[in-house]
Amino acid sequence: MLTVEVEYLAGVARAANDRGDAPDWPPQPDRLFSALVATWAARGEKPAERAALEWLEQAEPPMIAASSAAWRSVVKVFVPPNDDTATAITVMPERRRRQERRFPACIPADPLVRWVWPAMPSEAVTEALEALARDTSYLGHSASLVRCMVRRLAAPGNAVAA
């Protein structure tokens, strides 16, 4: 079985669910896939790594092994929008427009999350996934620093279907 293991290095997972009102826990497979694609793009879009991503894309959904998590309370913050069309006066800090934002986060009981695919890819695909995982530094929000690696393990006992 192919297993991708992610450890939240700061012990906090920062990522919002689809509605943006709560943490995305356990992290969904598409969040992991997106992080691997971002790494692939940053590494120069190597064809062998693309083939590995295509294998993941076509594979059956993985099981997810993750602990429970305590949600942190979500506070409103006000930040300048990225797409603001600035005029000379609105670039001044005291004149900047602010938009309400929330940054949901949770603290998992165990910082390790595993995605387990029942199939095992070819050696070339596994090696490409290992290279991508090794260079993946965050999952979800860029403040969610992670260690990511590929393992060949049996399915963990607390895995649930995605």
- CA 70 from chain centre, in angstroms, equals 18
The beta-carbon contacts of 30-35 under 8 Å, at least 24 apart in sequence, are 31/139, 31/140, 32/4, 32/6, 32/115, 32/139, 33/57, 35/136, 35/138, 35/139, 35/140, 35/148
Angle between helices 29-42 and 123-135 (to 10 degrees): 80
Q: How far apart are the two ends of the chain, measured CA to CA in Å?
A: 16
62 within 8 A of 117, measured Cβ to Cβ: yes
Report pTM.
0.81
Residues of the chain with pLDDT under 70: 80-93, 153-162
DSSP state of 158: T
Report the C-alpha gap between 47 and 40 in whole angstroms. 10
Note the pLDDT of residue 27.
94
Instruction: Report the SS3 class of residue 29.
Output: helix
DSSP 8-class letter at 156: P
What pLDDT does 43 receive?
Answer: 93
Taking only the tens place, the pLDDT of each residue in 7-31 is: 999 999 999 888 878 899 999 999 9
